[in-house]
Chains A and B, each alone.
Chain A
Amino acid sequence: MEQMEFIERVETIKSRLYRTALLYLGRESDALEAVDETVYQALRALKKLRQPEFFETWITRILINECHRELRRRSRFSLDGEDALPESAGPDVYDTLPLKEAIRRLPEDLRQVVILRYFAGYTLSETASALDIPQGTVVTRQRRALRLLRLELGEEEFHES
């Protein structure tokens, strides 16, 4: 991929990357830093991307890795690294938290699906390839996540494939 194409494609996806990072990390400055680092890592590794059609998937994966790294760093230094709540805690526990906070306390496998699908605007197939999981798994996880959050979102979200 040429640098010009890289720039254009980053321009198209950067707001989605930012929203994803903001939901993961909670703070604007951290989200911005994660996007910056992601774009830098992608630019550096651009030669390794042999199938440019997977650019969006690939850079999203880099971003999620970057967010995980930051979360690990926080928990190591005890910087507001709240642990995820177990799914068995049930919707009642999540009810006590504001939505943004509740998303951040979801188990990781549910959180990443819900962020990409319902906030960053990824389609079912984009989410499946970014997370490297089958589409059926995405559907199951988003159902479980929505149940915990008591969110009733359009059925059409579930029938896209």
Chain B
Amino acid sequence: MNRNAEYDALLRELEQVPDQLEDTVRRAAAKKEASQRRKRFWGIPVGSLAACFAAFVLLVNLFPPFAQACEDVPVLGALAEAVSWSPSLSTAVENDYVQPIGKSQTINGITATIEYVIVDQKQLNIFFTLNSDEYDNLNAEMPRYEPEQICSTIGSNWNQSPGTLLNYTLDYGEGNVPDSFTITFGVTTYVEPETLQDAPLQDYADEMLDPQEEEDPDILAEFTFTLEFDPQFTAKGEIVPVNRTLDMDGQSLTVTEVEIYPTHVRVNVADEPDNTAWLKGLEFYLENEAGERFEPISNGISANGDPDSPAYVSFRLESPYFADSKHLTLYVTGATWLDKDMERVRVDLVNRTAEKLPEGVTFQSAEKRDGGWFLIFQAEQRRENYYHQIWDMIFYDEAGNQYEIQRRATDPLGDGHFEETLPLAEYQEDVVWLQPCYSRITPEITPITIPIK
């Protein structure tokens, strides 16, 4: 066959397009939607948690508050909408456990109004609105306080329409919510970056590896409010000593005390030095005499870590505060452990092998790009609608130098598994030491019953 005959044959061959080409737009739209969901997730823990001290808190599923403010809702209607992600805060609102503030200021055409607070001894939730005719979205930056507050702050720094009820959550560890402080925060707006039409487009992996941070937005206005909290609210809280030791998976744990606040419950535990594993997670719930269950916090701070070890030492539950319970029983149904010899795992990126991986985790891919290594792992989805984390955000090279992961993503795959994407930005070594967040899970056990009161 001469070249021209070959050319004609090739043209005919190219006329045959696969049927799957039909759905290319639908697949692109689905991927875009999934990517936006993913983007929303991975941006949140880094951008919205300001720890005023080394706060070892575990955040789960932080969804932006979607509040629909409309005229015909009752006074607290918008607030009820805004807290619908939290059973404890919803119950607080239903029980009028809300302190109205109603302080307002207008600067540069933007009006900030502190509407309400929901506060107890350990947690303060500040609800506020930002309004302006000039912008289609407004954000509140992370606040600062006078005097300085030793707390973790979670903000809702999303591009919300003016008028949306936003909130800051201040979570106190050792200390308590004070009677009063001054809060200062800047307000910004998100503007789509101007990009040249033919600027090189990045694909997903390159974008995840890109270490360049977005430029800080301009502060359009800065607001300062002095807030005073009603002592009848800030005094609320009860500590119940428990001191009950339980054995699970060959490890020994003591539930030392349970702290009950209107906004949440803390279950504090201590482990034994002889244990061969660190406690990384607890499966548990509270139940009262009426059979009413109070589940672990599924949205917000779910646990506090020990600054001196990889273990978590305080776990959160929704609050039974308003349920008027005479008796409360804690049921422990399982745990997540990190074996002490699994604190760091050597991963050979070039050969895509790991000396050991946490239980149920598979190493899917490792791709070296100009911007660093792009890793994908897969593991079993153990709980519905839960974003598991396989690896810690800190990793090391062979020489022991420490690096930090700026972004990660978790994708449920819909088949009972999820994928964790780990971009090691600017990392070009062939070997990495990763820190698992867990190494094994307790198989289902008969619930361990601990009477609380």
Contacts and interface: CB of A to CB of B under 8 A. Distances in A.
A, B from the same assembly: yes
Contacts of B368: 76
Chain B contact surface mostly = helix
Interface centre among B25, B29, B192, B196 (most CB of A within 10 A): B25
A40 B31 contact: yes
A150 B3 contact: yes
Interface residues of A, number: 47
B228 interface: no
Contact of A41 (B18, B24, B203): B203
Interface string A1-22: 0000011001100110011001
Contacts of B201: 41, 45, 62, 65
Interface stretch (A47-55, A80-88, A105-113, A134-142): A47-55
B7 interface: yes
B367 A54 contact: no
Contacts of A62: 201
Interface stretch (B9-17, B71-79, B445-453): B9-17
Interface in B23-43: 24-25, 27-29, 31-32, 35
Given A40-B28, A69-B203, A99 B10 contact: yes
Contact of B35 (A15, A44, A69): A44
Contacts of A150: 3
B18 A66 contact: no
A58 interface: yes
Nearest to A47: B192
A45 B202 CA distance: 10
B25 A32 contact: no
Contacts of B10: 99-100, 119
A35 B27 CA distance: 11
Contacts of B27: 36, 39-40
Contacts, number: 86
B95 interface: no
B21 A48 contact: no
A144 interface: no
B14 A119 contact: yes
A11 B25 contact: yes
Nearest to A48: B195
Given A14-B21, A18-B21, A43 B28 contact: yes
Contacts of A11: 25
A39 B10 CA distance: 25
A157 interface: no
Contacts of B25: 6-7, 10-11, 39, 43
A146 to B, nearest CB: 9
Nearest to B11: A119
B200 interface: yes
B198 A61 contact: yes
A132 B7 contact: no
B192 A98 contact: no
Contacts of A15: 17, 21
B197 A99 contact: no
B108 interface: no
Chain A contact surface mostly = helix
Nearest to A7: B25
B20 interface: yes
Interface centre among A15, A39, A76, A100 (most CB of B within 10 A): A39
Contacts of A153: 4, 7
A149 B4 CA distance: 10
Contacts of B21: 14-15, 18, 32, 35
Contacts of A42: 28
Contact of B18 (A28, A61, A98): A28
B199 interface: yes
B6 interface: yes
Interface centre among B18, B20, B28, B198 (most CB of A within 10 A): B28
B198 A58 contact: yes
A73 B365 CA distance: 13
B3 A151 contact: yes
Contact of B17 (A10, A18, A73): A18
Interface string B194-229: 011111110100000000000000000000000000
A128 to B, nearest CB: 14
Interface in B259-299: none
Contact of A50 (B6, B11, B197, B200): B197
Contacts of A58: 197-198
B418 to A, nearest CB: 21
12 contacts: A14-B21, A32-B18, A37-B203, A39-B28, A40-B31, A41-B203, A43-B28, A48-B195, A61-B198, A73-B367, A119-B10, A151-B4
**Which 5 interchain pairs have the tightest Cβ spacing?**
A40-B28, A39-B28, A99-B6, A19-B14, A48-B195
Given A10-B24, A18-B18, 19 more contacts: A6-B25, A14-B24, A19-B14, A22-B14, A35-B24, A36-B24, A39-B24, A39-B28, A40-B31, A40-B32, A43-B25, A43-B28, A44-B32, A65-B201, A73-B367, A99-B7, A149-B3, A150-B3, A151-B3
